[in-house]
Amino acid sequence: MPSPLRRPDGLPERLGGDETLVMGVLNVTPDSFSDGGQHDDAPAAIEHGHRLIRQGASIVDVGGESTRPGAPRVDEDEELRRVLPVVAALAAEDVVISVDTMRASVAAASVEAGALIVNDVSAGRADIEMGREAARLRTRRGTPPVFIAMHWRGHSDVMNDLAHYEDVARDSADELAQRLAMLREAGVEDRFLVADPGLGFSKTGAQNWEVLADWEAMASHGLPLLIGASRKRFVSALGVDRDLATAAISAYSAEHGAWAVRVHDVESTLPAVRVGDRLRRSMRR
């Protein structure tokens, strides 16, 4: 049986219901693995945010630092310069914004500019202030931001060297559980937490498929789940259209009860997600 679809608190009512949400990726970077340089100035990025919403995205995930394997880090000022104008412009139009950052300062500035979600691929490991900041912050809705915590072992320059596990699905779930416990100790409430198994991060191609296949391990935290497989190397390695392959993973994720899928191509994913939603509702009967 599929897992129940769980939702975090603190988001607009229009994001309720029993459907898996589609989060559109908006990289305001010159070097992201898939779309680097396509939206690396504010006007182009804002227009792409509009395009993602028109295509059916419920959330736009704005990031100013590439996390592709081997990517160098950008400094704080540059990350802020990239993301804040985009976050502010789209949030002013009532777009639900997630900021993809590992820095507490960028999270705070983005929430002040209107972001409702902080998407930290390090789950607070890259910046020891992140957990306390996430607990302290309040969005314009008067609630803490939703905090997405991903399984992560190290920065982009070393993560490919860290893919050693006894049982990748169970080990990564256990490690994420430890991070979630630390976030709770810092004051982040469960009702605002989302778990992400970290596909593509410190995992080989084969290991990513093992993680996806063990839904029980991914869902073991009892939290809403975000699945981010879009255009990653293990998907592209199938030798088929990477967006259609991503859509298939998105349908699988929706069928199993994912809260949201994070994708670059919303248009191909949205129909697949609705099929997965429909199957899940039928399987519960």
Structure tokens at 102: 């590992």
Catalytic residue among 153, 232, 242, 280: 232
Residue 3, burial from CB neighbour count under 10 angstroms (0-12, 13-18, 19+): middle
Sheet with 226-227: strands ordered across = 193-196, 146-150, 117-120, 97-100, 59-63, 21-27, 260-263, 226-227
Task: For residue 177, give the amino acid letter.
Answer: A
Burial class of residue 68 in the structure, from the number of CB atoms within 10 Å of its CB (0-12 exposed, 13-18 middle, 19+ buried): middle
Is 232 catalytic? The answer is yes
136-157: b (≥16 Cβ within 10 Å) or e: ebebeeebbbbbbbbbbbebbe
262 an active-site residue? Answer: yes
φ/ψ of residue 155, rounded to 5: -65, 170
- Residues 82, 203, 242, 262: which is the catalytic one? 262
H or E segment to which residue 85 belongs: helix 76-91
Catalytic annotation, residues: 232, 262
